[in-house]
Amino acid sequence: MVFNEPGIKVVDLQKRLNVSRRTITSDLKRLDNLIVYMGSKKEGGYKPSKKLLQTIDHNSAQ
C-alpha cells in the first residue's frame, strides 16, 4: 500500500487492514529501511524509501 499510495497515513492503513494502530506502528518499524515518513505529524505520511526504489529499478533493468 505504501508503494502504490505514497503519503498514506497510519489511520488509513488501520482502516484498510482492519488492525490496531499498535500493529501498524510495529510493522512500520520493521520496514524502517524500506519506507520513510515525510511531512508533519498531522499532514505527513509514509512513502517508499529511495533505497527501495533504487532496488526495484535495478532489478527491473536486469
pTM over 0.95: no
Q: Where are the domains of the chain?
A: 10-61
Class of residue 8 by CB neighbours under 10 A (exposed 0-12, middle 13-18, buried 19+): middle
Summarised one tens digit per residue, pLDDT across range 1-23 is 898 999 999 999 999 999 999 99
pLDDT of residue 58: 76
Cα–Cα–Cα angle for 31, 44, 13, rounded to 5 degrees: 55
